[in-house]
A and B are shown apart, each in its own frame.
Chain A
Amino acid sequence: MKFTTTLLASSAIVGAGTLAFADAHGNMAKEMTLVSWGGAYQASQDKAYVQPYLEMHPDVTAVWDESSAEAVAKLRAMNEAGNVTWDLVDVVAADAIRLCDEGLAMEIDADEVLAAAPDGTSASDDFGDLLVSDCFIPQIVYSTTFGYRTDMVGDTPPTKICDVFDTDAYPGKRALEKRPINNMEWALLCDGVDKADVYDVLATPEGQEKALAKLDTIKDDVIWWSAGADTPQLLADGEIVMGSTYNGRLFSVIEEQKQPVAMLWDAQVFDLDGWIIPAGLPDDRLARVMDFVKFATDTQRLADQSKYISYGPARLSSAPLVGQHADMGIDMAPHMPTDPANAQNTFLYNYEFWADYRDDIDAKFQAWLAQ
């Protein structure tokens, strides 16, 4: 009952919305400001769907703003100032949920706004569980996982996540992200907690202490990173023996820069990245964005993106279309975090848990870090 009411209510809202777009169809804005992360990821978006879209619509221009890292704070400030200058913002799913909570992102109905799969599967089925928020339009699945120096681990390369905590077998520094998310889960896992119980344990103060105590065993051997580019640099320079980062970064260290680095996929944490549309856009800009986003997240476009970067397309129907890297001509499928060989033991970022516990655990984590 509840579910259907919500569904009906939201489709009513969006139904009204689509009518408005239809009205405004004649005067879609000629310019879009797209916000993304910069670097190779933004380049993959540009090549896979922004440039093709602009070729189809020669009168439209797109401007990139590389502000995704501060997107939540900036959108909030823009909203308070009453002048939202962004049209489409690329954020990680956790940020999309917060923007939705704060009323800063527009709620959408996937089936109305997004294209169906070529075989007619509706968008909501095609994206499935990845639609983690009413405001979120997923693009890719990426993972946070480890890379290690093949020349620094001897004859027995690490195969399990717990090798990260084993400083006897693998002496040397490790790089971990300077935040509790992911690190706490890995610590508990290697402290003997069952994978199924990780979040139940982490919800208790004792469990948090347990995780920090485990991290404490390698505290002096860790370099804490806050930018995704840190670990690749540290690995390339031989500063660290292993370190966590986004799998696409490791792909470029291994395949593009040919460094002696290999992947440790065990206990990789899947996360999602996608678009949100800022709330309160004027009709003409909204109509343009809707038109663009429908194109940019269709099955072929998401599959195209994986030619340029090793992140998995968020649509089920895109997976069979993943081909070879556009420049290097290597098969991309084995480099995808979702490839069956790589995805034997995985976590999915627990959005609800971290929305609740982020402030609390972060305070403890930072206090522990500062000691």
Chain B
Amino acid sequence: MSDNNIMKGGPGTGLLILSAVVLVVSFGYVMFQLMTVGHAAFNVSSKLPWGQPISTYLYFALASSGLGLIASLPLVFGFKQYYGIAKRAIFLAFIILISGMAVLALELGHTFRMLWAIPFNMQIQSAMFWMGVFYAADLLFLLWKFQKMEAGDWDSRNTKIIGIASFLGVLLASGNLALIFGMMSMRPFWYDGSLPIYFYLTAITSGMAALVFFTYLAYGFTRSNMPEKLQIVFTGGLPKLFATVLGLTILFVTVRAITGLYANNPEVYHVWADYLFASPLYILSLVFGLLLPFALMMSAKLRVNPQIQILVAVLTFGGLFAERYYFVVGGQVIPLFQGTWAWDMLQYTPSVTEWALTIMGAAMMFTLYVLGEKYFDLSAAPQLERAPRTAEPRQATA
């Protein structure tokens, strides 16, 4: 079934070596900088404390959540035509979350202290405490679910319960992650009760991009190499779903932008007018990272074209990485008090170390991905799909 999976052969080994080398070099560089220079190697400051490492973590964590939500289509909601993508989606969700957590761990002042200080102090008022709880649960359920799939158990009662628990875990984790920002009334650009919806939508969009890209990558960017079940998914509902979530993401960004630009509140208005829309990179990311992919996926002909799907996935990757970056930094660029220390908007550009941390996360993701493709059959799906489906209702009515 997976004979055409190039990750199992030489190209996979080549990519594995390349990504492992990049991982080791970037990790080594970050560690060297942290040991010698400390967190001064980052370009963040007490005025703007969260920078690109946080947005990278957010990007990975939400892509993972998106993949978890996509996998719940067959595993929780019974869309069995999507069974072919479920195992790869769960695996990718797991490794992308691990990669994101690795980036976050190196951003913290005290990484290992976190492991005991958070559980032992039980500060349930803190959304960050719940982030730890929900993402730990998410990780556990993903692993458990993957183990069940690996054992060929797709439809047992236990598997379904784990699937539902995992779905709820993903919803809670990514929704709570949104509220880490959304509950900060002193940061009006973020302060928004509907932020979890925005996070869900963008999570699914980035998860979809990851799924499309990595599935094509496994088959040498040639759809005809894929198992038939996967080909059906990629020419059927999945591209439409991709177009839908891209459209909803654009809608949400538009609504936030209109609200921000209409509002007199300078802490929101100036972020949109003088930071986001004043940045050519942000506009480029909107046009080429969201609008163009949406336009391409709206065309019935183009959205099933493999090259277009790959292009859209790559563009969306970049677009949403920028979206996360500008979201995190945008919430802090207006100084709390204008005057000494900050006479104008705060400036922030990621340092080399911060970029190395982002690259490290991506390299870790690629390394784990190739290992996964090599050692597991990620395109596996239940073999006797049709028989139980037709048998179940009869048994139920008998």
Same assembly: no
Which residues of B pack against A, CB within 8 Å?
none
Which residues of A pack against B, CB within 8 Å?
none
